[in-house]
Structure 1
Amino acid sequence: MERAFSAKKEKDPASSSVQDASDRITRRGETIDDKIKKLDAELSRYKEQIKKMRPGPAQEAKKARAMRMLKQKRTYEGQRDMLCSESFKLDQVACAVEGIKDKDAQQNLTSLKYASKDLKGMVKIIKIHGIDVCDFSFTLLFQS
């Protein structure tokens, strides 16, 4: 009765993290790898059969099947490459997010800010080769 009255199906909740999406893409890539392995096995079997056959329409039919399988294999390889690149991009995003959340990175940033202020203050006092560097800015000193 539910189908007759078109009751809504429950949908899977959306992925909550980048890692979940990356894992899902990796699993899809593994299934495509399995399909490619199966096609490789069939292609090698067709290759052996074609070698044993005499030239004629039967051999041409086997060659046509092998060519279709080869095209299918290339399609799967393209899909696998796209999934690998997507997975790589997601891993980069996850790494960047972790880097932003990382307390050590935030502490390093604040310590660099304070060090920069201290160095700017010290630039007014430093002497280089007997020349007083009083009015040079921090950026001009370290550009060369």
Structure 2
Amino acid sequence: MPNLTSSRLPFLALAALAISAVFGTTTHASPRAGDDVVFTYDAPDLSDDGDHVIWNWTVRNNNSHSVAHVVLTSKITPKVSVTRVSEGCEVQDSSTIRCTIPTLAAGASREGVIEADLPADLDGSVQISGRVTWQNPAAKSVTPENR
């Protein structure tokens, strides 16, 4: 277990502040008004010795219809050792995690977790950011039969 030194203690406060202050932004697959799939990261849970962090995330579909091919891409800077991710997620490299949700019903949400070990020689803060993309259902063709 790493020893907390005086240089590590300010890091813990900065990391908690920087990590908790970075929330996701929404990226729409379709520019139509009313599309709203959002995500958030909860304040991080930092281990007592400051060498492990857990981020909980939530993706929510605020649309009145289901969406498909929802992808939350999270990026951690600087690079860390990701130790665990939720089912449906994969670590692309030591700083990028991609979580895929095949479909998300109207009003539904999905929660997940990203865990990482922080290097002992880390100087500064750790940040997590992300974006979500999705596909809206195909619009129905208007024909004389379905008017």
* TM-score, length of structure 1 as denominator length: 0.21
Higher strand share: 2
| Larger-Rg structure | 1
Which of the pair has the greater relative contact order for Cα pairs under 8 Å at 6+ separation? 2
